[in-house]
Amino acid sequence: MAVPRRVAVTGLGLVNPFGGDLADFFARLLRGESAIRLYTRQDGALRPLCVPAARCENFDAAAALGETLPYTMDRYSQLGMAAALSAWQDAGLPDGKDVPRDDWGVSWGTALGGTLTFESGYMELLRNGRERVSPLSVVLGMNNAAASHISIQLGLGASCATYSVACASSAVAIGEALPKIRSGEATVMVVGGSEAPLSYGVVRAWEAMRVLAGGDENSAARACRPFNSDRQGLVLGEGAGAMVLEEWEHAVQRGARIYAEFAGFGSTSDHNHLVRPNANGQARAMQIAIRDGGLTTEDIDYINAHGTATREGDPIEIAAIRDVFGPRAAGLAVSATKSMHGHMLGATGVIEAIITVLSLARKQAPPTAYLDNPDRECAGVRHITGAPLQGDLRAALSNSFAFGGSNTVLAFRAAH
């Protein structure tokens, strides 16, 4: 029987609300720093937006992509393209589209796609009384625009697909690339996701669900407190992340740096409620990812939790972890980094996968920020608080659970 092909993570890139590069991002998370600030937006007669959010305020599309390309992209595509280019360079892959790359592809995730494009179109029609919207509205707004730009700019000729699975979108996109490389269909996949959700309509919609954390200038940074007894909800964020996944031998032969092995992918549906999470569905996804990766629960040394800081969601995830890991759960290190980078909806899965991969590679994992009084309902695991977790981590999971009941778990194994 042929030995199954393994998958290496050889490039990481992101656009994040701290505004710096990958090393800066991870260093800040290890220190427990939050990128969340009070976000205010005032547009004419509309009641101003004023919520804690993690916004990529310093993102300069022209600097990242050149002066002309950004005109043809919604902000979510600009963020995604910049992250993909950054991951590509990080992987040490050459520029130039003249090399045939017909077995290299893109697997991308976004929950909302070009929401800002649609909003500006509606503003023109309904507020400004115009009869027309920009002729680029369709190609800016479509959910697969970011993926297609990446495919075009990098010259990738294999599958180019976009997954829209709410808050698990980019985790699903990463997971769905695994069988493509294992089977030989693809050699390299650029994977990840991007989201730019800070439009009036989207922020108001989340406010109406009563799940957004409040805050003012002083308290915004600590608005998102997963697993804490006084947690009050999630904080929206914008950003993008990308990884280069590569067939193991291909990576070794070109002398690429391997951050970690992407070992397993688990995907399940709760099949019972649109928004109420279910421990059984989440536990099954973790079990499938562990088994798919040829791992056991004994091998897992860290979990990057979905942990959004909602009243209802956090205890259910901890219950699911306890179900899967049994007596081992009490010593299992867990952190929820949304406390610092916010909830980037469709992009959050890849951002957290990047953090998980870096934790394995750098042998330290970030804490959950502002977790000073853990909720009793969230007890039973080893919450990382204050200082980062240090040590030889062998394997780790990244959990992503979506509205709609879709659960996605990615399993990574240390390369060292």
Which spans of this chain sit near other proteins (rule: CB under 8 A)?
Answer: 67-68, 71-72, 132, 134-136, 139
Helix (H) / strand (E) containing 272: none
* Catalytic, out of 56, 149, 160, 343: 343
Which residue in 59, 70, 325 sits closest to 317, CA to CA? 325
CB of 105 to other proteins, least distance (A): 24
- Comparison of 75 and 306: residue with beta carbon closer to other proteins: 75
Has 167 been annotated as catalytic? yes
Mark out the alpha helices in 155-256 (DSSP H runs): 169-183, 200-208, 248-253
Kindly give, in sequence order, each residue whose CB lies less than 8 Å from that of residue 86, ignoring residues fewer than 6 positions away.
13, 14, 15, 21, 22, 242
Has 56 been annotated as catalytic? no
Helix (H) / strand (E) containing 224: none
CB of 44 to other proteins, least distance (A): 20
* DSSP β-bridge partners for residue 163: 109
- Comparison of 68 and 253: residue with beta carbon closer to other proteins: 68
* Catalytic, out of 160, 167, 224, 378: 167
Kindly give, in sequence order, each residue whose CB lies less than 8 Å from that of residue 226, ignoring residues fewer than 6 positions away.
305, 307, 308, 309, 314, 336, 338, 339, 368, 371
Under a CB-based contact definition with an 8 Å cutoff, are residues 153 and 86 in contact?
Answer: no
CB of 124 to other proteins, least distance (A): 11
- Comparison of 137 and 280: residue with beta carbon closer to other proteins: 137
CB of 80 to other proteins, least distance (A): 19
CB of 67 to other proteins, least distance (A): 6
- Comparison of 155 and 201: residue with beta carbon closer to other proteins: 155
CB of 116 to other proteins, least distance (A): 18
Check the CA dihedral 367-34-31-61 and report its sign: positive
Has 250 been annotated as catalytic? no
Integer Cα distance of 342 and 348 in angstroms: 8
* DSSP β-bridge partners for residue 54: 237
- Region of 156 please: left (phi>0), alpha (psi -120 to 50) or beta: beta
* Catalytic, out of 149, 306, 341, 383: 306
- Comparison of 72 and 385: residue with beta carbon closer to other proteins: 72
- Comparison of 134 and 183: residue with beta carbon closer to other proteins: 134
Active site residues: 167, 306, 343
